[in-house]
Structure 1
Amino acid sequence: MGNFKSTFSSTLGKKLIMALTGLFLCTFLIVHLVGNLQIFSHDGGKAFNEYSYFMTHFPPIKIISYLLYASIIIHAVYALILTLHNQKARPVKYAVYEGGKNASWSSRNMGILGTVLLIFIVTHMANFWFKYHNDMVPFVEYRTSLQTGETTVKEIPASEFRDFVKYVDNGVEIVRAKDLYQQVSYAFQNVWLVILYVVAMAAMGFHLYHGFWSAFQTFGWDHKKYMPIVSFLGVWVFAVLIPLGFAAMPLYVYFTK
């Protein structure tokens, strides 16, 4: 027990925790992006609102969400601890920073990138997570004819909404849900919020560009046989594709709604 505690209280242990939480957050980003792509569906937000309900009420997902919140906090705290430790260990910068030519811009500015992402996360949670969980979003009813596939959408007053429902009545599928889709559409009419999201996604791309492969390096999984695959995933999936996917959403809403 003592050895275990000493290992994870050491600098290497802190880096291992950073790597573990970082890879978990990377996995979450993939799942979250796939779900959020429902916002591009031309169905009045039906698929997106059903996905939102599923993500907040399906028990296994709720458990994972608590792990997610803990991972974000732990990742941020340990990043701060390691940064302060490094500054304390080297209080005066060298006149010539050896290795600086080889270090990427993202690796030298992980603290700045992380701060931008932390601001983004707080803003995102305040605009969507908090309002959704505290019934501060509109409520909506979808009626879809199972014969024609046509869907009608109408907002319903809060007094008529009890909880998410989905059932079929006389050949018509009826869905009542919290309208997070409408909240997203409203929020992304604010150009400054859209700019913040795009800048944050650019920061996330640079953050993941360095963080993804460095996590594998921390675990010692940097064998030359596998690193090309890790580098490919780190660059094209986590540093390019995922940030572009998330950045496309506020831009799409702003220019089309």
Structure 2
Amino acid sequence: MIEIFNSSIGKKLIMSITGVFLMLFLLVHLTVNLMLLVGDGEVFNRAAHFMATNPAIKIIEPLLAIGFVFHIIYATYLTIKNRKTRPIGYSKSASNGVSSWSSKNMYILGATILIFLVIHLANFFWKIKFGTVDTITYGTETMHNTYALVAGLFISYWWYDLLYVLGAIFLGFHLSHGFWSAFQTLGWNGTKWLKRLEVIAYIYAIIIGLGFSIIPLYFLIFK
């Protein structure tokens, strides 16, 4: 069994499974973050509070995050190892130019995203979990004023908005290849399904890339 995961196919399988965790995590994360654009912050604060306190979410979200982190760590390990031997690429390139470019630069895109992720976690996650974020009360509920933290950063530092948008664009390129490649490795590799997956991958990548880009641009332009 261990020999399977030491093989080229096994390594791709691990990357594909953890990649699916990454894609689910991003979808959930984006859904909550888009609530920053609604109202004066109450909707987002309540959503963030729900994600932080709901028992089911407290179990599911860490599992998705662990899959996300393992995807990054394992990709880094494979990159270093493959440079000493030979590159082990994805099993097939897409028929379009953009995905082909993305497939050839997956590790570079991933490394860029990782740098952005570290900055993002330092500014938001770390401050929320271990910092001194102000609280706010709605009715009888008191919670972190996460909206003020996020909005304050986007409003005060235009360069961070541009960095955030750049990170979202790189993420979109990464996903444009990674999405269909993951499902192809998991068995959806027929000619008919491959074409469909390429289209779905583009749609998903655009939704994620554009969705995350809209948030800082909204605060940069309208706030």
Is 1:66 the counterpart of 2:62? The answer is yes
CA distance in 1, matches of 2:146, 2:217: 17
Identify, as 1 or 2, the structure richer in strand: 1
How do 1:119-138 and structure 2 match up within 5 A?
119-138=115-134
How do 1:1-257 and structure 2 match up within 5 A?
4-42=1-39, 44-90=40-86, 104-142=100-138, 173-188=139-154, 189-237=156-204, 239-257=205-223
After alignment, is 217-226 or 13-22 more displaced? 217-226
Residue 91 of structure 2 is matched in structure 1 by none
Letter of the structure 2 residue corresponding to residue 141 of structure 1: T
Residue 150 of structure 1 is matched in structure 2 by none
Letter of the structure 1 residue corresponding to residue 108 of structure 2: I
Match of 1:221, SS? coil
The superposition leaves residues 83-142 of structure 1 with CA deviations (integer Å, 9 ceiling, x where unpaired) of 233322249xxxxxxxxx978111111111111111121111111111111252222233
CA distance in 1, matches of 2:62, 2:119: 19
Count of aligned residue pairs for this structure pair: 213
What are structure 2's unaligned runs of at least 5 residues? 88-95
Give the alignment's TM-score, normalised by structure 2.
Answer: 0.88
Q: CA deviation at 1:35?
A: 1.7
Percent identity of the aligned residues? 43
Contact 1:38 1:48 in 2 (8 A): yes
Letter of the structure 2 residue corresponding to residue 13 of structure 1: G
Q: CA deviation at 1:26?
A: 0.8
After alignment, is 15-24 or 221-230 more displaced? 221-230
Letter of the structure 1 residue corresponding to residue 23 of structure 2: C
CA distance in 2, matches of 1:83, 1:135: 34
Match of 1:104, SS? helix
CA distance in 1, matches of 2:182, 2:20: 7
Match of 1:140, SS? strand
What are structure 1's unaligned runs of at least 5 residues? 92-100, 143-172
Give the alignment's TM-score, normalised by structure 1.
Answer: 0.77
Identify, as 1 or 2, the structure richer in helix: 2
Work out which of the two has the higher radius of gyration on C-alpha atoms and give 1 or 2.
1
CA distance in 1, matches of 2:51, 2:221: 27
Contact 1:11 1:82 in 2 (8 A): no
Match of 1:253, SS? helix
Q: CA RMSD in A?
A: 2.0
